Amino acid sequence: MLFWILVAALTAAVAAILLYPLLRGAKTVDNARAGEAAVYRDQLRELDRDLAGGLISADEADYARAEIGRRLITVSAPPVTDRKPAKHHRLSEAFVLLLLPIVGLCLYLVLGRPDLPSQPLAARLANPGNDMAILVAKAERHLAQHPDDGKGWDVLAPIYFNTMRVADAETAYRHAIRLLGPSSARLDGLAETLMAASDGVVTEDARKVLEQSLQLQPDNPKARFYLALALEQAGKTAEARAAFAALARQSPADAPWLPLVGEHLARNGGALPGNPTAADVAAAETLNAGDQQQMIKGMVASLDAKLSADPNNLEGWLRLVRSYAVLKDRDRAVAALKRALAVFPADSDQGKQLLALARELDIATEGMTQ
């Protein structure tokens, strides 16, 4: 019932706002005419005072009095066109008072949810469901009242980071580390937040945090990757190559980060595309640049042959196309993409992944999507 009372009050307020200019228009005309008539009457009284004081002659006074009287009669007479605008205003007023509320009510009944119970903010915070914004608001309200709740900060920090609230994420990670103590996950999250704030650059603060994370977990692949990236960004190519190669050697053969590691190895002159084994990496570290390149080409050719024999391998095709692109063999990359799309059509989920990779590598796909 309260809802409908509020709707009625709002409708009346809107109608009054819309009607005000219409009603005010007629009153404004009348007020203007009344004001002009008062001015002319004052002029007549002033004329009599001037005549009595001898400032003007009787003839001049008669002439002026006739002119002022004519103007006074003009503004005092009702306008001939008053009736038509009045009719127009009445139609407008009827539309505002009747049709507008009826149309609005019909639209609400069709598109709205009058049966939905009210949900005050307090109730929504108590039962947020899957609404992430409400969950975050609830957590923020809780932490405002209990700022020493480390678990709350620990939960909120990655949410802030994933929603690009970088400054809030840094604050949350630092509170969580202060209250709960450092862990690899918290330190890695803080480092990624610091890097996001610096547009992907591994700053000195981020590097110190990553080194602390690596002390807690020496085999932490994320910390090792970012520390290798810091060497690459500093221009220390040989050290970066060795760090990326060591990470590849440590990683399982099916590790999801290996393709990215391979890309950075390529940038630093030691690329091993095609998910190298630990033995491959160890062998490559002992070779010079020319021999490494030959080894890489041999691995790519081996992967190509395996896919020809067993083409139903999406990950293999993705690695092969990327490998040819890393080797700057554009023709073979395009040919591999065409062969892959023959196995996985362009409109399938696998085909869409292949086309996304082609766009990433700037490979033209005209004629491949039919």
DSSP string, 167-228: HHHHHHHHHHHHHH---HHHHHHHHHHHHHHTTT---HHHHHHHHHHHHH-TT-HHHHHHHH
Question: Of residues 22 and 208, which shows the higher confidence score?
Answer: 208
Q: Average of pLDDT values for 156-168? A: 89
Choose from 9-13, 177-181, 319-323 the range with maximum mean pLDDT. Answer: 177-181
Question: Residue 73: its pLDDT value, please?
Answer: 67
Question: Residue 190: its pLDDT value, please?
Answer: 95
What is the percent of the chain where pLDDT is above 70?
63
Instruction: Yes or no: say if 307 and 313 are a contact pair by the CB < 8 Å rule.
Output: yes
* DSSP character string of 54-96: TSS-HHHHHHHHHHHHHHHHHHHSPPTTSHHHHHHHHHHHHII
Name the region of 79 (left: φ>0; alpha: ψ -120 to 50; beta: rest): beta
Question: Residue 83: its pLDDT value, please?
Answer: 45
Question: Residue 187: its pLDDT value, please?
Answer: 95
Q: What pLDDT digit, counting tens, does each position of 68-95 carry?
A: 666 666 656 555 444 444 445 566 656 6
Q: Average of pLDDT values for 271-288? A: 51
What is the percent of the chain where pLDDT is above 90?
19
Domain boundaries, the chain: 2-111, 133-234
In this structure, whether the domain defined by 133-234 belongs to CATH 1.25.40.10 is answered with yes
Instruction: Yes or no: say if 272 and 248 are a contact pair by the CB < 8 Å rule.
Output: yes
Q: What pLDDT digit, counting tens, does each position of 94-114 carry?
A: 665 666 667 766 776 666 666
